[in-house]
Structure 1
Amino acid sequence: SWNYAKLCVQIADANHHEMISHLCYTHLVMEPFAIATARQLGKNHPLGLLLRPHFRFLLANGELARSRLLGYIDRLLPGSLEESKHLVKKGYEAWNFKAFAFPTEVENRNMQNAPHYPYYQDGKLLWDAIKEFVRNYLKLYYENVDDVKSDTELQAWADELAAQDGGRVKGMKKYVVDIEELIEIVTNIIFTCGPQHSAINYSQYEYMTYMPNMPLSLYQPVREDAWVKDQNSFTPFLPPRTQAAEQLAILYILSLPYYYDKLGYYKRPFTDPEARKCVKQFQKKLKEIESKKSPYRYLNPQQITNSISM
């Protein structure tokens, strides 16, 4: 039946969402950037000062997930733990830092001209605002190509990210050639840690805690002649009470609006007065986006964190 078909698609979408879109394409792919930033950029390096707030709690959350969430994955998702890990592996094999930059990824799906696609339309406003902020900030410290090429810490950062014995980030070159390339890289990082993760993470509670809408597993064998005509015939396919309660609880916790800081607002202000001006301009732009009529809720700047903090 149509209801049964929709349920199967929703379950597949939920598994892709959790293991690939969420875990792999935000948390895991950003970890090498956090590590390289800590290892290669000095305490007062301008790029390090900009990026560190966007990595806050990322590595700690990753460690917590590895130690405390694997059991939930094993119990709630349809495959074995190894099969769920394989989803992450396949997702990462397809991922590329440059190709999965927000506008490029949408264009690769040929969705950029869709008449009503709030995720892209509101997301593009944020991407452009972040890019303008990053451009204004970086141009304070890099006036020409030579400034970029001669920055040994920056080049060591890029080298570690691209190296096979380092971050192995596909789509990253071992050196940064000019300011425009650096602007694209930094914009991509900030967007992924902020708007992209917020849109994926904080939408989970609304969509995935009502079991008939999006359970994480199907609890009857898949068969072509399945027929769902009423609640009694639908319920057996849904999680039993224990698994349903666990799914609700864990997704409630993951979706809690714990905002250590929000996009564009930094707990430790930049000491450079010109950098502070760039931040103020960025905040003003975010306010304009916030006041947009009928905004996409999960990309409202008021509800976007600076970092992958949950």
Structure 2
Amino acid sequence: MFAAQVIKAGLALVLSFGAVEGLALPQATQPLNLTQLAALLQATIQTVIESVPANTPNITFTGQYQIPQHDHQPLLRAQGITLKRTNFLYGPPIAGGPAFPTGVIGIEKLANDLGAFGIDITPQFQGALIDDTVAAAQYQQYDNLMTLDDYVKLYTNNWVHVLPHGPDPGVLTNYTDDLFFSMERLSNSPYAVKRLRPHYDTLSFNIDDKIAKKIAGKSLNQLFAEGRLFYADYRDQAALPKSAQYGAACDGYFYIDRHSGDFLPLAIRTNVGSNLIYTRLDTANDWLLAKIMLNVNDFWFSQWNHLAQTHEVVQIAYMAAIRTLSEAHPVMAMLNRLMHEVFAIQPVAEAILFQPGATVDQLFPFTGQSAQDYTTKRYKTGGAGAVESQYFKSELRARGLIDSPYGPALKHFPFYEDASIIHDAAEKALRAFVESYYSSDSAVAHDQEIQAWAKEAQGPAAVIDFPSISCIDDLVGILTHMAHLVSTSHHTSNTNELLDVSSALPFSPPALSQAPPTSKNIANVADYLPKLDKVLAQFTLAAVFARSAIAGTEKTLLHMFDDADMLSRMNSKTAKAAATFQSEMQAFSEEVRGRQFGADGLSQGMPFIWRALDPNVVPYYIAT
């Protein structure tokens, strides 16, 4: 755990923003004032740190890690677990979702995580403060954001601290391309789309056969019958309590083209107002706005689904582990490494996102309370909170995106391609780790602490779909999934990705500035986009959630298992596996950094270069 002075240092760094003179953005052009945001975070961190009791029990372990069967001090080990069970408790949820830590050890762990979070967020705050000030001062060059090109100008000589390399190549130039829009579902936002199963699923809306054949060469029903039809559904947003901004509640069809094999958009329905259905046969403005409207809905889904699917799942599974595994257990040590800062996000989310008048109310089509409720629903009943059924490849298989028994395979699937390399390398490292401590499946089955973890998760912790752990494969599976959730899954939807592509303007705003049109043939798409005050607030929020300053440091995913203290107290096989993982991630990072557009103008089948999962850029932990 972090020493008290380190926690205080993190707090002091955040507090330093209150002393910055002359850089606070004018309230008239920036509703999300960074100085106010810093003050809110200060108060959150201060409150938690001051609430840590002076007599918190010390659970720090400094010896060699070993499984209970090999520990010659079982009584001391059992006393340590009892100490944690007595002082690390399940408290009420914060910001929705599952239980949140309480008890004196729980509060101390929260304080440690918030202190570390304060240190991480400091350079982001500093960079955002400077960048936002510069961008606001240059408002005249954006020409009141009257055209789409004016939105592109927002990036000229701006955001140099929080977005040092600019948005992903192609994002500002190729966003009108249909392939750009569809391939976002297979890269930076891969969790909503699914393949429709012939003879099992049903079609949610129809489009005229002549229109479908002109676009795709086949009718809607033919595409469906051949397993070429895909669907993204955001209709559940139609009933959400609304903010002062606007959005639709789109659903849309995508298809695999029979000639090119490309994954392309077919039709988009708004499900609000006149409930218009759009295709590329409409005017260029209408079709572009339709894609933007679906992106607004996808932005909402992606952010709150990721909170439920990653943060809240690992949070509660880790809590069950804390209450059942000795600090001397190697699995506990590995989880402590992977779960760095995991408890910091929920209180931060409640403070700066969900409160009335906070950033969700300011930027999104629906209220902050809606966002919290939506997240909780995704966690509890929407599938996002499940563990075993959401394992990386199982979840993609269930949506027909890989290994589909019907229809052609996707020609390109960038998320799967990149995440697989990291996932498989982590799985290999974790298998070596587990097998170095357990000589057989029965050794896992007879580890009373591991069995207690599973029982606790399935019982008092109420973790959804937590697996039984009766063999080596089971233990490797759950550890690999935890590593996947805090890294490849999370950083695909959040962290640097928000600025790089997922909230890049003009194509991906968090909301519209006016209600969706009730008829077609609009004159100007820019009329529906957020204005400068909202734009700068959007950049501020995304910048605070990014971690560009971590690139090239020991906090990157490349160093996921590279904890010198931890490895020094484990065995040589684990240290060797950690070194191999680091070497493999270095090679993959070089591959990602070297990506260029091919002769066809594409990278991984996309008209933009996606670098979200560069292991030497993103954190090894869940961060924001």
TM-score using structure 2 length: 0.46
Deviations 1:122-147 (A, max 9, x none): 21111111111111100011111221
1:58 corresponds to which of 339, 342, 345: 342
1:17 maps onto 2:331 in alignment: no
Report the identity percentage.
21
Change (3 A) 1:210 1:118: closer
1:190 maps onto 2:504 in alignment: no
What is the deviation of 1:80?
A: 2.3
Q: Which residue of 1 aligns with 2:583?
A: 284
More helix by share: 1
What is the deviation of 1:60?
A: 1.4
CA distance in 1 between counterparts of 2:378 and 2:314 reads 14
Q: Which residue of 2 aligns with 1:7?
A: 292
CA distance in 2 between counterparts of 1:53 and 1:264 reads 13
Change (3 A) 1:59 1:150: same
1:249 corresponds to which of 516, 540, 549: 540
1:145 corresponds to which of 428, 436, 441: 441
1:181 maps onto 2:477 in alignment: no
Q: Which residue of 2 aligns with 1:105?
A: 395
What is the deviation of 1:208?
A: 4.4
Any gaps of 5 or more consecutive residues in structure 1?
none
1:88-237 to 2 correspondences below 5 Å: 88-92=375-379, 93-95=381-383, 96-112=386-402, 113-163=409-459, 165-166=460-461, 168-173=462-467, 175-201=468-494, 202-229=496-523, 233-237=524-528
CA distance in 1 between counterparts of 2:429 and 2:421 reads 12
Q: Which amino acid aligns with 2:576?
A: K
Change (3 A) 1:60 1:226: same
**Is the Cα contact below 8 Å between 1:162 and 1:170 reproduced in 2?**
yes
Point out the more displaced range, 8-17 or 257-266: 257-266
What is the deviation of 1:226?
A: 4.3
Any gaps of 5 or more consecutive residues in structure 2?
1-285, 403-408, 596-603, 605-609
What is the deviation of 1:243?
A: 2.0
What is the deviation of 1:180?
A: 0.8
Q: Which amino acid aligns with 2:542?
A: L
**Is the Cα contact below 8 Å between 1:286 and 1:301 reproduced in 2?**
yes
1:78 maps onto 2:365 in alignment: yes
More strand by share: 2
TM-score using structure 1 length: 0.90
Q: Which residue of 2 aligns with 1:302?
A: 616
2:311 corresponds to which of 14, 23, 27: 27
CA distance in 1 between counterparts of 2:541 and 2:555 reads 23
Deviations 1:230-255 (A, max 9, x none): xxx33331223322221110101111
**Is the Cα contact below 8 Å between 1:207 and 1:213 reproduced in 2?**
no
Point out the more displaced range, 135-144 or 249-258: 249-258
Change (3 A) 1:184 1:209: closer
CA distance in 1 between counterparts of 2:482 and 2:428 reads 14
What is the deviation of 1:12?
A: 0.7
CA distance in 1 between counterparts of 2:504 and 2:483 reads 31
Counting matched residue pairs gives: 303
What is the deviation of 1:9?
A: 0.7
CA distance in 1 between counterparts of 2:446 and 2:341 reads 31
CA distance in 2 between counterparts of 1:126 and 1:87 reads 30
**Is the Cα contact below 8 Å between 1:162 and 1:172 reproduced in 2?**
yes
Deviations 1:238-296 (A, max 9, x none): 22332222111010111132436122523434122332112112222223333436385
Larger-Rg structure: 2
Q: Which amino acid aligns with 1:289?
A: F
CA distance in 2 between counterparts of 1:80 and 1:262 reads 34
RMSD of the alignment, in Å? 2.0
**Is the Cα contact below 8 Å between 2:315 and 2:343 reproduced in 1?**
yes
Q: Which amino acid aligns with 1:251?
A: A
What is the deviation of 1:32?
A: 0.6
Deviations 1:183-220 (A, max 9, x none): 11111110111122122222101224544211111221
**Is the Cα contact below 8 Å between 1:204 and 1:251 reproduced in 2?**
yes
Point out the more displaced range, 125-134 or 291-300: 291-300
